[in-house]
Amino acid sequence: MKKILMFVGGIVLLVTSSCTAEKEEKEVNEKYLATSTIQMDTTVTKDYVCQIHSISHIELRAQERGYLQKIFIDEGQFVKKGQLLFQIMPNLYQAEVQKAKAEADYAKIEYQNTSKLAENNVVSRNEQLMAKAKYDQALAELALAIVRLKFTEIRAPFDGYIDKFHVRLGSLIDEGDLLTNLSDNRNMWVYFNVPEAEYLNYKTNASSKNPTVVQLLMANNEIFPYEGIVETIEADFNNETGNIAFRATFNNPKALLRHGETGNIRMQNKIKNALIIPQKATYEVLEKKFCYVIDKNNVVHNREITIAAEMPDLYVIKSGLKPNERILLEGIRKVSENDKIKYNYEKPESVFKKLNVYVE
C-alpha cells in the first residue's frame, strides 16, 4: 500500500512539474506588438462651440407716439427693402402738416409783398430780409411736420426676415418702443472661441492668399452644405478664459440658418513636427494617460503622457515621450512595470495605414 501511494504521488508531481514548465515556457515565448513614436507634420480637425448671427440684425422701433393702426406683415415673413410694415395712426401728424403748409403759404405771400415794396423803396431792405427769414422758418416747420408724418410709417430698411411682434394692433405706442426685429440672413457671421496656443498655431500657418476654410456642424449633427471663411479675429483675449474670438462668414442662400442658432465650427489646424502615437498604445488611470516605453534591454516602463490634440485613433503628444521611442502597441493589459518582454516591431507608418489619420 505504501509503495502504491509513493507511485501515485510521483505521477502527480511529474504532471504538476510538466504543467508548470509548460506555463513558464508559454509566458516566456509570448510576443507582443510594438511600434515607436513618430514626428511629422499633421492636420488636426477640432470642433469649437459657436454662435450664429445675421450680418444685419436690427431692432425696429417707433419714432413717434400714437396708436398702432395697421400691421401689414406677419411674424417670420420675408420682406423687401422699403416695404411698409407698420402704420401708426397719422391723423394728428397729417393735421400738423396741413397747419405748417398753411403757415408756409402765408409767409410766402408776405415775403412776396414785402419784396415788391422793397423794390419801390416803400419798405427797407431789412424788412424784406425779415420776411424772407420768416418764410424760410415756415418751410423748415413744414419739412419737419412732413418728416414726423413719415415716421408714422415703419418701413423695412433692407431685405430680411421679420421676428416676433412686441406690440399688437391698437396698442398705444410711445416713441422708442420696440416693435420687432429684422434680420438679413443672406450671409451669416459665426463666432467661436479659440485657445491661445491654437491661435498661435493658426497665425503661424495662416496665409492671406489662402484664407482658412471651415465647416459648420449644425445642431442636428449635419454639416451645413456651404463652407465658411475665417475673416476676422477680435483684438483682445478674454483674461478669464484665455480664449480669443474668431469670426467666420457663411453664405446662406436658402436661409437655412437663422440669427441666434448654435452649432460647432469644424476647423483644421496644421501642426508642424507633431509627435504622434496610436491611441490603442495608451491606457488611463484616474483620468491620467499612460503608455509602456520599451528600453534597450526590452524592459517595459510606465510613462505618464500629456495629450496636445486628438485625431481619429491617434494622439498628438505634448509631453512624456521623445521622438523614435519604442512603445508597446498591443498587450498593455498583460504586462507590468519592469517586465522583460519579447515583441515584434512594426514601423509607425505601417501602423498608421490601418488607422484613420491625416498626415502631410
Grouping H, G, I as helix, E, B as strand and the rest as coil, residue 43 is strand
Q: Write out the three cell numbers for 181.
A: 426685429
Q: Write out the three cell numbers for 5.
A: 501511494
**Mean pLDDT score, 64-83:** 93
What's at 270, amino acid-wise? K
Alpha helices in 121-216 (DSSP H): 125-150, 196-205
Task: Check if the beta carbon of residue 166 is closer than 8 Å to that of residue 180.
Answer: yes
Question: What confidence tens digit (pLDDT) does each residue in 253-286 have?
Answer: 999 999 999 999 998 877 888 899 999 999 999 8
pLDDT given for residue 158 in this prediction: 94
**Residue, of 287 and 262, whose pLDDT is higher:** 262
Question: What confidence tens digit (pLDDT) does each residue in 132-154 have?
Answer: 899 899 999 999 989 888 888 99
pLDDT given for residue 93 in this prediction: 84
pLDDT given for residue 15 in this prediction: 42
Grouping H, G, I as helix, E, B as strand and the rest as coil, residue 335 is coil
What's at 145, amino acid-wise? A
Q: Lowest mean pLDDT of 115-124, 213-222, 271-280, 298-307, name the range.
A: 115-124
**CA atoms within 13 Å, Cβ hemisphere of 226:** 16
356 — pLDDT class (breaks 50, 70, 90): low
pLDDT given for residue 122 in this prediction: 77
Backbone angles phi, psi at 287, to 5 degrees: 65, 10
**How big is the chain by its Cα radius of gyration, in Å?**
40
